[in-house]
Structure 1
Amino acid sequence: MASEESRPLLGTNVEAELHAERPSQLEVYLSKVQNQNLYLATFAAVLGPLSFGFVLGYSSPAIPSLRRGNVPELRLKDSQASWFGSVVTLGAAAGGILGGYLVDKCGRKLSLMLCAIPYVFGFATIISAQNVWMLYVGRLLNGLASGVTSLVVPVYISEVAHSKVRGMLGSCVQLMVVIGILGAYVAGMGLEWRWLAVWCSIPPCFMLGLMAFMPETPRFLLSRHQRPEAIAALQFLRGPLVDHEWECRETEAHTEEQQELKIAEFKNPSIYKPFLIGVAMMFFQQVSGINAIMFYAETIFEEAKFKNSSAASVIVGSIQVFFTALAALIIDRTGRKILLVISGLIMAASAAVFGIYFKIALPTPNNFTHVNLAIPSLSVMVGTEQHPLAWLAVLSLGLFIMGFALGWGPIPWLVMSEIFPLRARGVASGACVLTNWFMAFLVTKEFHDLMVLLTPYGTFWLFSVTCLLNVVFTVFCVPETRGKSLEEIEAHFQRTH
């Protein structure tokens, strides 16, 4: 036991010596890197998150379309609409477990190619649906693919990217998700639910074709002792001008120390500390209420009596795309922690204001009874006319999305892909994705019940409090990973041993 304890300390000393020599070598190396093929590989990979975004955004325009549909077997009631929106998160939770297995056993590239299949089959099942259960099955398959995607893509990008652009490229995962959500919102304004499903099935087909020509990650290849293939991957990703052998040796020196992860190792701080941080970040991301808001954006605006709820949803989606892109551009300059803190504060303030809007817009307690609160539609409580402060609902929800896009949207996925040791990456990332999607299911499924139990304003004030807790957690627990190699980040947790 003593020898096992001393091994991380020895690795730390070696890392420290390497770090002392590394800056000049690294700067020379990065100055010769050509990023074109790296960007191409990243684009091929993030077609998965684009598909994932279409899945998330699909329910918002599809639910109203299905509710007013002409086929009685497919006309959704309130409880069925709730399941249609939230069952995708159960599939994604299962996808997190499956992805954790695939990413270690099959590799990053093949896992991405495989997850295109349930995307396409899921949308095909929805397109051909004859009853509500076929809709559920289609959404479940979409969720399974989304869960695998949300785990594998950040890992793939973090392992093919170098430290100078890893933050920007890692943030593109969330950027493509929100572009997909916006694409579903915009297309949903003109397409009924079947044709919308056809539109959403296109990106995974392109991903399958493009990924076939992209390399596996050098770190995974070296962990499988496939050194010639790793060199070839580096030649593709970095261009012909750099010393591929140098980066290969740097990575190889670390991967040679990796062994099969054992359960007993979770008592080692270099394993359990990043594991707890990753799981906690996924928990806090979802209890902010973001997925409930995005799944039901159009319904929220309808119940806020905003006249054109579809347009309001598109406005919110556009805000999310713009500020996620902004975060991707500045994250390698500002760092992760400061963006998380700013993000959490904006979300807390905007959720509180949205709660105030509902407090003002809802009738006073004297005008409705507990029976009214049990009625599924909030429109009974809000009334039939647009409230003069409806603009406040759009503004506050837009600010919430802006805050989320700046930090708590992209950064938890980025940090998850950075902080885990190579041998723990599959298992730990799988646990993070499972946590994220299980909490997404609970929040999304129980969102309506929360609105009834706590009232709409109480629900959004609860989200505001959880966003403040996000800030406290960030300040005291989340490490800064800006500008550090994956090996240096692992060494940081070993030094805290």
Structure 2
Amino acid sequence: MPAAIAQCEADSRCRWSYSVQECQNPAGYLSSESGIFAGSMIAGCLIGSMFAGPLASTIGARLSFLLVGLVGVVSSVLYHVSCAENEFWVLIVGRFVIGLFLGVIGVACPVYTDQNAHPKWKRTIGVMFQVFTTLGIFVAAAMGLALGQSISFDQNKDQMVMARMQGLCAFSTLFSLLTILLGIVMSESRAQFGGGEEGAIELDPNEYGYLEMIPRLLMGCVMAGTLQLTGINAVMNYAPTIMGSLGLAPLVGNFVVMLWNFVTTLASIPLSYVFTMRQLFLFGSIFTSCMCLFMCGIPVYPGVSKKLEVKNGVAITGILLFILGFEVCVGPCYYVLTQDMFPASFRPRGASVTQVVQFIFNLIINVCYPIATEGISGGPSGNQDKGQAVAFIFFGCLGIICFVIQVFFLHPWDEERDGKKKAAAPAYGKREVSE
């Protein structure tokens, strides 16, 4: 075996595959290209979320959705051009632009729900933001599987792959147009800053400043760490590679992961009636951290398990349990807590800052994960299980640290306990957002 590996590594066109124990030609993106591909969208999300809170407060919900819909159309055009010309860098620009779209949506939707939903249903509607996010991810995985399975690799003929990709890109174009339509037909938010229509809920943007909110903003950073630094994006973006190294065909493994990802999220809906968002988030935090450490990390490290079947079985089970804990507890509750953590007048800005931090963590993971795991493994021909095991052990340790901090300091905003005391009664016509 060592001689075969050495002979394979001697040819720059080849890579040794530990999953199938043979020398193969590399396919797909390099690790650096995978990082750029994944990181480009996250960089756009970071910038979009940075301006999302001030944007929603200044121009309102309707114009915000109209604007991001137009940005989405521009991104879709770039996607179509990239497929037609097979240009990697046009695709990267398109993903960056769609990231701007997603960055604003990730703040605008929870804020709009918090300001307009009935208090009885607010939490349930809030967790459905994550439910439909995972539904979209699953649909994309299903289309990817269908595309891959429909190509006859053993036939020497034009498979029209780029034409097939145009069909995939059409979905992003459709949803961008629907976002524009949403901005046209939706009602303006009941809560308005700096005055508004008669009967509207008036919020003072200067009621609380950033300095006053530093403790809660720091808590938002810890929540963002729980969301991103426990490995969910390593699983989502690199599911084909991870599952492939564990014995499943990449597209099939990706489909299985994304199906499970969506199905488990549905459980968050009934649980939102029984438990508070804080309780679910804390349980999910410690559960996912333990899965990273004791199921996806330590057992996968080379030499810990002598049998390949045992190692693969434990790791795949760990990934599925990790996703269960994340999508039932952490992901759905995060978007609700980004609102509940702050007073009503500060929520757009607080959610914006929290989202910026989580996208910074997201960007670091997406860019560094493939490069770091490959480097720790000893290069492209090294045993990739080593790098993945070290990464998940790191994720698990960080998650446990975040959990301990959150147990003591993660508490929703209570106006009577935390708010400024008002000497005068509210003016006629003013109402609370929660009414």
Does TM-score exceed 0.5, indicating one fold?
yes
Match of 1:202 in 2: 174
Could you tell me whether the CA contact under 8 Å between 1:340 and 1:408 is conserved in 2? yes
Which structure is higher in helix share?
1
Match of 1:183 among 120, 130, 139: 139
Could you tell me whether the CA contact under 8 Å between 2:244 and 2:253 is conserved in 1? no
1:476 aligns with 2:408: yes
Q: Does the residue aligned with 1:128 lie in a helix, a strand or coil?
A: helix
C-alpha offsets along residues 384-416 of structure 1, whole Å, 9 cap, x if unaligned? xx8564333322111111111122212121111
Alpha-carbon offset, residue 429 of structure 1: 2.1
Match of 1:245 in 2: none
AA at the equivalent of 1:201? T
AA at the equivalent of 1:286? Q
Q: Does the residue aligned with 1:410 lie in a helix, a strand or coil?
A: helix
Could you tell me whether the CA contact under 8 Å between 2:233 and 2:362 is conserved in 1? yes
Alpha-carbon offset, residue 261 of structure 1: 5.7
AA at the equivalent of 2:331? G
1:322 aligns with 2:254: no
Structure 1: distance between partners of 2:242 and 2:270: 31
AA at the equivalent of 1:179? L
Could you tell me whether the CA contact under 8 Å between 2:44 and 2:96 is conserved in 1? yes
Could you tell me whether the CA contact under 8 Å between 1:165 and 1:332 is conserved in 2? no
1:83 aligns with 2:36: yes
1:266 aligns with 2:210: yes
1:157 aligns with 2:113: yes
Match of 1:463 in 2: 395
Cα distance change, pair 399–439 in 1 and its aligned pair in 2 (3 A): same
Could you tell me whether the CA contact under 8 Å between 1:120 and 1:205 is conserved in 2? yes
Match of 1:6 in 2: none
Could you tell me whether the CA contact under 8 Å between 2:31 and 2:371 is conserved in 1? no
Alpha-carbon offset, residue 455 of structure 1: 2.4
Could you tell me whether the CA contact under 8 Å between 2:281 and 2:334 is conserved in 1? no
Could you tell me whether the CA contact under 8 Å between 1:109 and 1:156 is conserved in 2? no
AA at the equivalent of 2:146? G
Q: How does 1:255-404 map to 2 (within 5 A)?
A: 255=203, 258-260=204-206, 265-268=209-212, 271-306=213-248, 308-352=249-293, 353-360=295-302, 387=309, 389-404=311-326
Structure 2: distance between partners of 1:277 and 1:428: 11
AA at the equivalent of 2:195? R
Alpha-carbon offset, residue 326 of structure 1: 1.3
Stretch deviating more after TM superposition (354-363 or 124-133): 354-363
AA at the equivalent of 1:114? L
Cα distance change, pair 312–391 in 1 and its aligned pair in 2 (3 A): farther
Structure 2: distance between partners of 1:299 and 1:410: 26
1:224 aligns with 2:224: no
Structure 2: distance between partners of 1:186 and 1:223: 46
The alignment's TM-score, normalised by the length of structure 1, stands at 0.68
Q: How does 1:114-125 map to 2 (within 5 A)?
A: 114-125=67-78
Q: Does the residue aligned with 2:120 lie in a helix, a strand or coil?
A: coil
Cα distance change, pair 225–126 in 1 and its aligned pair in 2 (3 A): closer
Q: How does 1:65-104 map to 2 (within 5 A)?
A: 76-104=29-57
The alignment's TM-score, normalised by the length of structure 2, stands at 0.77
Alpha-carbon offset, residue 468 of structure 1: 1.5
Could you tell me whether the CA contact under 8 Å between 1:312 and 1:394 is conserved in 2? no
Cα distance change, pair 272–356 in 1 and its aligned pair in 2 (3 A): closer
Aligned pair count reads 366
Could you tell me whether the CA contact under 8 Å between 2:289 and 2:397 is conserved in 1? yes
**Quick one: percent identity of the two aligned structures?**
20
Match of 2:99 among 110, 129, 143: 143
Q: Does the residue aligned with 2:188 lie in a helix, a strand or coil?
A: coil
Match of 1:110 in 2: 63
Stretch deviating more after TM superposition (117-126 or 418-427): 418-427
Alpha-carbon offset, residue 172 of structure 1: 0.9
AA at the equivalent of 1:400? F
Could you tell me whether the CA contact under 8 Å between 2:247 and 2:312 is conserved in 1? yes
Could you tell me whether the CA contact under 8 Å between 1:154 and 1:413 is conserved in 2? yes
Could you tell me whether the CA contact under 8 Å between 2:244 and 2:250 is conserved in 1? yes
CA RMSD, aligned part only?
Answer: 2.6
Could you tell me whether the CA contact under 8 Å between 1:287 and 1:439 is conserved in 2? yes
Could you tell me whether the CA contact under 8 Å between 1:279 and 1:435 is conserved in 2? yes
Could you tell me whether the CA contact under 8 Å between 2:66 and 2:182 is conserved in 1? no
